[in-house]
Amino acid sequence: MKKLFMLVVVALINISITHAADKGTFTTNQICKAGIAKIMGRDPAIIKIDRTSGETIYLSYIRQDDKTKWKYKCKLNGNQILWGSDTGRWRTHAMDSKVRYKINGNSITVTDTFSDGSSSKETYSVENIGN
């Protein structure tokens, strides 16, 4: 019985570690800023954190071309960045791209993988992203 209990505990720890991504020195806010910057093709420095609600981060930026405000929501699931427009659906459909991040020291690489298998990526430093 004791061995079974230990086996279950070890399995649960392994599952927790597998689903937890290493954020290094980056905060969830910074990871979300990098994700939205990559997806929208914007400089992460213009993206602002508006508020948080539980695990959801609400962000926005002003598009310089026409001064319109664009608002999004973001949360993390392991190394995946889940996002949507602030009042819209989460982009989790099978045909939606998958956005993932990887931390390497003081830089973060965000990869956007599309349903056809193609992908694009962008790397940002902590300094590029700001707070």
Instruction: Write down the pLDDT at residue 25.
Output: 85
The predicted pLDDT at position 63 comes to 96
pTM for this predicted structure: 0.82
Query: Which residues form the domain of 124?
Result: 24-129
The backbone torsions φ and ψ at residue 4, rounded to the nearest 5 degrees and listed phi first, read -65, -45
Report the SS3 class of residue 120: strand
Asked if residue 6 is part of any domain, the answer here is no
Instruction: Output the tens digit of pLDDT for each of the chain's 131 residues.
Output: 455 434 333 343 343 433 457 888 899 999 999 999 999 999 999 999 999 999 999 999 999 999 999 999 999 999 999 999 999 999 999 999 999 999 999 999 999 999 999 999 999 999 999 88
Q: For the chain, give me the number of helices (H) and strands (E)?
A: 3, 7
Closest among 42, 39, 58, 61 to 50, alpha carbons compared = 58
What's the pLDDT at 94?
95
pLDDT the model gives residue 13: 38
Determine the pLDDT at residue 131.
81
- Rounded-to-integer distance, Cα 2 and Cα 52, Å: 42
- Is 7 among the domain residues? no
The count of structural domains within the chain is: 1
Examine residue 77 and state whether it is found in any structural domain, yes or no.
yes
Rounded Cα distance, 97 and 80, in Å:
11
